[in-house]
Amino acid sequence: MRQSEVLNPVRKTFLPYGKQWIDEEDIEAVVSVLKSEYLTTGPAINEFERKVAEYVGAEYAVAFTNGTAALHGACYAAGIGKEDEVITTPMTFAASANCVLYQGGVPIFVDINESTYNIDVNQIETKISKKTKAIIPVDFTGQPAELKEILDIAKKYNLIVIEDAAHALGATYKDKRIGSISDMTMFSFHPVKHITSGEGGMIVTDNKEYYEKLLQFRSHGITRDINKLTENHGPWYYEMQFLGYNYRMTDIQAALGSSQLNKLDLFITRRREIAAQYNAAFQGISQIITPFQNSDRESSWHLYIIRLNLKELTVGRKEVFEALQNQNIGVNVHYIPVHLQPYYQQLGYIRGFLPNAERLYEEIISLPLFPSMTEQDVKDVVVAVQRTIEVYAK
């Protein structure tokens, strides 16, 4: 096969790497809110929070405008402040570390495990200091991190675990649903995630103190709780007791999220079916390393990432990426390690001190994966990848 042939599209239309699935039930749920008395701070938010908490097995849930805001709230509730250190992974979206900066804290990056692509639990203790306040593990691609080991370390050093599960709604770890394990867990409802509320995020926890702080933090630091007021002028009275933010989710978003949640198990089943087809198709191709799997955890497959064995290819990742795009396969790369971003470089984080994450970044490509993909869509992806590898194989 000539190299030019692999660049011919395998399909007429472009297939994105991720996409929401909205049906009539979702539309009707949003319309019902638009016709109601409440567009925000109304009953739809409480209902969405209740349903998510019940689904994951948590006592409390607090909805936010987006996942980043939710992480910010969790950092506040955990008491992270100026110069406090928080351990996290570089292989994530910037929000996992930015939320620490928002509170004046210092992100401390620990390299990844080369098999799981999650934070390497064997390196965490080497980065703990007297300033360490919390650990933010990330369930990268929907694959739960090594939570038992992380929680054991946290208990040993009296640290708080804020799990970034933006990718992992519906995933399980040792037969427990993600959201029922860590001190606080964040979920994201961006359109490419497992369910969407347009934009949205949520923190779930079993800790009542965290719950109350999160509620107040998302609404300017204001409370009307008569048990917390320093004065009480009457039934209209409220107090701003600290500098919070306007991170409130609307009822419109919450209604969409609740409706989507009804279909979550269906969505995850389909994601797992697609991932299984990819695994089967790419097994035995020496130029491709398929994602980690382990019997003690079940990924919810937010992303399907192939890792290229560049030693067996005549080109680099960029050429493979472009070849797939030219075939109308909407591949992506998740993620550029956070410490390599210009802003973090200006803060003093240096290139080269997290070699596993940096090497992984040079070798990975995210393939399309979303529930409304048809069987033909999946076949198109498989064919495009196989053709591309065949052309560029040594």
What CATH code is carried by the domain that includes residue 362?
3.90.1150.10
Residue 122: CB partners within 8 Å, gap ≥ 6? 113
Task: Give SS3 for 84.
Answer: coil
Task: Give SS3 for 304.
Answer: strand
Cβ–Cβ < 8 Å for 138, 98: no
Calpha distance 220→239 (Å, rounded): 10
Domain end point (choices 219, 237, 261): 261
Give one DSSP letter per residue of 114-144, joined into a string: TTT-SB-HHHHGGG--TTEEEEE-B-GGG--
> Quick one: 81 and 138 in the same domain?
yes
Calpha distance 290→269 (Å, rounded): 19
Domain end point (choices 232, 261, 290): 261
Per-residue pLDDT of the chain (394 residues; tens, 9 = 90+): 455 455 789 999 999 999 999 999 999 999 999 999 999 999 999 999 999 999 999 999 999 999 999 999 999 999 999 999 999 999 999 999 999 999 999 999 999 999 999 999 999 999 999 999 999 999 999 999 999 999 999 999 999 999 999 999 999 999 999 999 999 999 999 999 999 999 999 999 999 999 999 999 999 999 999 999 999 999 999 999 999 999 999 999 999 999 999 999 999 999 999 999 999 999 999 999 999 999 999 999 999 999 999 999 999 999 999 999 999 999 999 999 999 999 999 999 999 999 999 999 999 999 999 999 999 999 999 999 999 999 999 9
**Residue 299, pLDDT score:** 98
CATH assignment of the domain containing 80: 3.40.640.10
Cβ–Cβ < 8 Å for 74, 98: no
Give me the domain span that covers residue 357.
3-19+264-392
Phi-psi region of 233 (alpha: psi -120 to 50; beta: other; left: phi over 0): alpha
Calpha distance 17→330 (Å, rounded): 5
> Quick one: 139 and 54 in the same domain?
yes
Domain end point (choices 228, 261, 294): 261
**Residue 5, pLDDT score:** 54
Cβ–Cβ < 8 Å for 189, 163: no
Calpha distance 94→116 (Å, rounded): 19
> Quick one: 312 and 238 in the same domain?
no
> Quick one: 130 and 114 in the same domain?
yes
Calpha distance 282→278 (Å, rounded): 6
> Quick one: 163 and 296 in the same domain?
no
Calpha distance 142→304 (Å, rounded): 9
> Quick one: 204 and 288 in the same domain?
no
> Quick one: 323 and 272 in the same domain?
yes
**Residue 3, pLDDT score:** 54
> Quick one: 113 and 255 in the same domain?
yes
Helix (H) or strand (E) holding 377: helix 375-392
> Quick one: 345 and 376 in the same domain?
yes
> Quick one: 307 and 372 in the same domain?
yes
Long-range contacts at 207-210 (CB < 8 A, ≥ 24 apart):
207/59, 207/60, 207/183, 208/59, 208/60, 209/77, 210/60, 210/74, 210/77, 210/78, 210/183, 210/184
**Residue 6, pLDDT score:** 56
> Quick one: 217 and 335 in the same domain?
no
Calpha distance 145→300 (Å, rounded): 13
**Number of domains the chain contains:** 2
> Quick one: 113 and 213 in the same domain?
yes
